[in-house]
Amino acid sequence: MNLFVILKRTFDTEEKIVIQDGKIVEESAEFIINPYDDYAVEEAVQLRDKHGGEVTVVTIGEEEAAKELRTALAMGADKAVLINTEDDLEDGDAYTTAKILSEYFKDKEVDLILAGNVAIDEGSGQVGPRLAEFIGIPYITTITNLEIEGTQATINRDVEGDEEIIETSLPLLITAQQGLNEPRYPSLPGIMKAKKKPLEELELDDLDLEEEDVEAKTKTIEVYLPLEKQAGRVLEGEVSVQVNELVSLLQKEAKVI
């Protein structure tokens, strides 16, 4: 099987994030593989082990994203591709990402593309479905189980706590939801092997793309951290006194009634 994982390098939202001039200060951030993409890598590796074939992980990013690709190789992927946009593009959005990926996939024989359900940093959840539309294959989002038999796929998908079972055929794009599997940690031998696995680097030129072809369709106006939560207030006294005080606070302080 020709299995591809599209993977994003994201900053770790569990760590401290500093914003300066509307941008996240990268030097103080910790970077990881987008957690949903860990499920996608794990599933691809398990499918390769069961059905044979090859797993290629692809990312669009800067030179540093090679580190996350090496981690995916250490988890068991066979090959990696970094589409390096550092010299060509300053900005991009879900359209940019999906459009570049669609050019990459134009001449590839694909059985299955695995993406994350959503990127934890920007959270648009659009790249997978947009890519599938561009290259004209079906897609199923937020999947929690996948069985493949020949070219037929049976999929369970999470629909807000309920479950939907879908039958479809390959080629296909899926997006991985939490619970799809238990992603492995790269083992020491895996890390050693990953150093020797192929990591191809491409630029927009190699995909016959110009900057104008992938120009963002949206513009980020502002980036800011959530306001710090104020300490709660405990009202005391008779219930009737508390109710009066609460109504007064909602009118005068919170200004919501």
Ligand X SMILES: Cc1cc2nc3c(=O)[nH]c(=O)nc-3n(C[C@H](O)[C@H](O)[C@H](O)COP(=O)(O)OP(=O)(O)OC[C@H]3O[C@@H](n4cnc5c(N)ncnc54)[C@H](O)[C@@H]3O)c2cc1C
- Chain residues that interact with ligand X, rule: CB under 6 A: 6-8, 34, 36-37, 59-61, 85, 89, 91-94, 96-97, 115-116, 118-119, 121-128, 220
CA nearest to 202, candidates 63, 10, 67: 63
Closest to ligand X by CB, 28 or 151 = 28
Distance in Å, CB of 79 to ligand X, minimum: 15
Closest to ligand X by CB, 20 or 230 = 20
Distance in Å, CB of 123 to ligand X, minimum: 5
Distance in Å, CB of 216 to ligand X, minimum: 7
Question: What is the spatial distance between Cα 122 and Cα 141, in angstroms, rounded to a whole number?
Answer: 17
Helix axes 66-75, 35-51, angle to 10 degrees: 40
Contact (Cβ atoms closer than 8 angstroms) between residue 8 and residue 116: yes
Closest to ligand X by CB, 219 or 252 = 219
166 beta partners: 155
Distance in Å, CB of 177 to ligand X, minimum: 11
* Burial (Cβ within 10 Å: 0-12, 13-18, ≥19) of residue 225: exposed
Quick one: CA torsion of 154, 160, 161, 162, rounded to 10 degrees? Answer: -50
Closest to ligand X by CB, 47 or 115 = 115
Q: Return the residue nearest ligand X (CB atom).
A: 116
